[in-house]
Structure 1
């Protein structure tokens, strides 16, 4: 077993916009680069806050290389960390990689250590950041609902993405606002080794990674808040493994949002805010909000087959994966049937072969899929609603699961679950003034 994973101190050249992150593992050396846009504030690049964020970004990006061998020790000899930052790093490498450990049957929870110099600096000077919003765009429905809410709340924003492709590019084009794009180049040898015997591979916390990259851009180009589009459903895990809940969407969860928001605030003397605009909402509620606007119907996609490293740019919706099935399911109660069929190209609820997938989504079989899908009871509630919906009650899947759905949950529980899906939660950290303006529109 490898003894240590080494994280070197990163570098950034404001003249070229290139940030370099180097790592060592089992005699192997890797270098990853970020290509940031031209026009970075050279003064900001020299600030203590940016230096701290760059160091923390190196720690978070390291998960992609660490997982090749998943050793128990992490060493960052040139990166000073506070106690809170050590805890943050361990959280990213434990819970952020929870799915990776579960699917590779690796016991790491509570066993990882990180050695780094102590950073005793309690406070850091706050950079002067203008009151501007950076909005990560994922190409799916969620960030586009955030677009709609911010527009109606009168909040100007800049779209942001790392390695934009496919639905991200077409969505940003429809938004019509100049974006901030970052090019992330993973070490090719890491990608190759991940396919070789003797090395592990698996899911990494991409939201954590992209959030740190967004934080770098916030300081360099002048934004005082990063607004995410993570829903409350993202906090539900998939399985229990090694004594704790494992969540495919951990870095989208409320718990992680609070943790990284605190880290980013401390690193910038309180100058940088980080929160999710959609945290009050279930996936079903977000789907209902999406129906208010039609201009994104032909450009968005939540199907992960559009975002693979191999560059596959297939149809917007494959129609076969759990993500496609879930998104179709939550739209069906709220969107006109002809509109929904025009988006997906076919009725995914009327294909008998899809029954098993919908059963897993609703908790009638197997486990919750390792995908960014909503809560099990939420999916069950949406299916129940369709059993009473004129457009959908005769489809093959709905007819096939109706009896088991009612037997497992009971009609009162499903009715209550649907009502709760459409009731906004107060468990969020949106600034109060913005929350009030958004609530006026989100009815």
Structure 2
């Protein structure tokens, strides 16, 4: 496999059909991926701009991780594309750290060993974009908190998703806000090969992928801000591997946010901004903000297992995966027990089978799960916090784990940790005017 070479061909965009076509080659295989944009309201001038061509090249490279990982070669040939040195560094970060979990779980050492060859940087003429926000929505609590904060602040926002289904559709409909979606069609041969011997499979940086697609949509439809809902705990990694910390959420981390924000800004002459509205907050703080409204209780979900398997046809929460365990836990300090049980259809904390998984989630055993969950100490502090609450103290998980948490961390540290979780950070990329507009609604 190490003799392989991954080749990224020049992407094509058809203004009449709204289709962007991306072609990749890996050994004797050729793959084609398609993005379909609604042709209504496409701005033809921006679609033909240098900025859009530059973003199209960058998108081709980022989407390529899904095909690259089949054999994870050391050489990436992007000579058909044009990139500056800074853009090449950004793309290497996507292929190295963005695939960190993939490498760790497949025991592949690639950090600092990949080479990316590209053509000369594209010419750039600045593009003008309207003062409007494109908000990525995932159907879970985080993006819904962003939506509600931005609504209350009076911003002009439109929701965005790639291949929306299930809770994304139901929460978007409940919001009543404008909604833009893009259809992403993966090459079926890539999916088939990923299940065959001799090929690798695993996690890809989906937030990076969706962000680049959102950047294309921003130019086509006219938005100067891409708004994410990544919290500060996304920067915490999972395991040490190959001399670095592999992070399931790397493309949600603050370091990546800085890198992609700079990349998108430079590609558009400073016209396009990219930031996470929730970066100042812990997951526990976001749970507090979400609990203030019951508007989305019956339609939101953060459960990857049921979302993936059943879309919106099955239960919104499985109650068994790390996401269900974590979300239930961080909402528990801020919600009435009856309300939380109604949302999940069960009491996740009162199931003895969940004691082991909560030991892992709180750092008592193992390592942080390969999921989009909060910090280890955050989970421990939230569980300790509710262990004396009359609503929760007699349920299976808090009752069993409170003594273990106090023995492992100490009650003083857990108390301090919870207080720190409810203190907002100043380390973020939120524009000053938006931070000022939103702040009164987050207090």
TM-score (norm 1): 0.98
Aligned length: 441
Decide which of 75, 78, 83 is 2:77's aligned counterpart: 75
Deviation at 1:302, TM superposition (A): 0.3
Equivalent position of 2:235 in the other structure:
235
Deviation at 1:145, TM superposition (A): 0.1
Equivalent position of 1:155 in the other structure:
155
Equivalent position of 1:344 in the other structure:
344
Equivalent position of 1:428 in the other structure:
428
Contact 1:352 1:397 in 2 (8 A): yes
The separation in 1 between residues aligned to 2:114 and 2:134, in whole angstroms, is 33
- Aligned pairs for 1:199-278 within 5 A: 199-278=199-278
- Aligned pairs for 1:310-329 within 5 A: 313-329=313-329
The separation in 1 between residues aligned to 2:346 and 2:401, in whole angstroms, is 20
- Aligned pairs for 1:115-126 within 5 A: 115-119=117-121, 121=123, 124-126=124-126
The separation in 1 between residues aligned to 2:81 and 2:434, in whole angstroms, is 36
What stretches of structure 1 of length at least 5 have no aligned partner?
Answer: none
Contact 2:166 2:311 in 1 (8 A): no
Contact 1:306 1:313 in 2 (8 A): no
Contact 1:305 1:314 in 2 (8 A): no
Shift in alpha-carbon separation, 1:162–1:107, aligned structure 2, 3 A:
same
DSSP-derived class of the 2:363 partner: coil
Asked if 1:4 is matched to 2:25, the reply is: no
Contact 1:380 1:405 in 2 (8 A): yes
Deviation at 1:379, TM superposition (A): 0.2
DSSP-derived class of the 1:78 partner: strand
- Aligned pairs for 1:45-60 within 5 A: 45-60=47-62
Equivalent position of 1:44 in the other structure:
46
What stretches of structure 2 of length at least 5 have no aligned partner?
Answer: none
The separation in 2 between residues aligned to 1:17 and 1:258, in whole angstroms, is 30
The separation in 1 between residues aligned to 2:128 and 2:120, in whole angstroms, is 27
Asked if 1:281 is matched to 2:281, the reply is: yes
The separation in 1 between residues aligned to 2:75 and 2:364, in whole angstroms, is 40
TM-score (norm 2): 0.98
The separation in 1 between residues aligned to 2:51 and 2:140, in whole angstroms, is 32
DSSP-derived class of the 1:76 partner: strand
Equivalent position of 2:14 in the other structure:
13
- Residues 184-241 of structure 1: per-residue CA shift (max 9 Å, x gap): 0000000011111111000000000000000000000000000100000100000010
Decide which of 37, 51, 66 is 2:68's aligned counterpart: 66
- Residues 226-273 of structure 1: per-residue CA shift (max 9 Å, x gap): 010000010000001000011000000000000000000000000000
- Residues 52-93 of structure 1: per-residue CA shift (max 9 Å, x gap): 000000000000000000000000121011000110110000
Contact 2:307 2:316 in 1 (8 A): no
Deviation at 1:313, TM superposition (A): 4.5
Contact 2:265 2:271 in 1 (8 A): yes
Contact 1:166 1:306 in 2 (8 A): no
Decide which of 106, 109, 120 is 2:108's aligned counterpart: 106
Contact 1:305 1:312 in 2 (8 A): no
Equivalent position of 1:400 in the other structure:
400
The CA RMSD measured in Å over matched residues stands at: 1.1
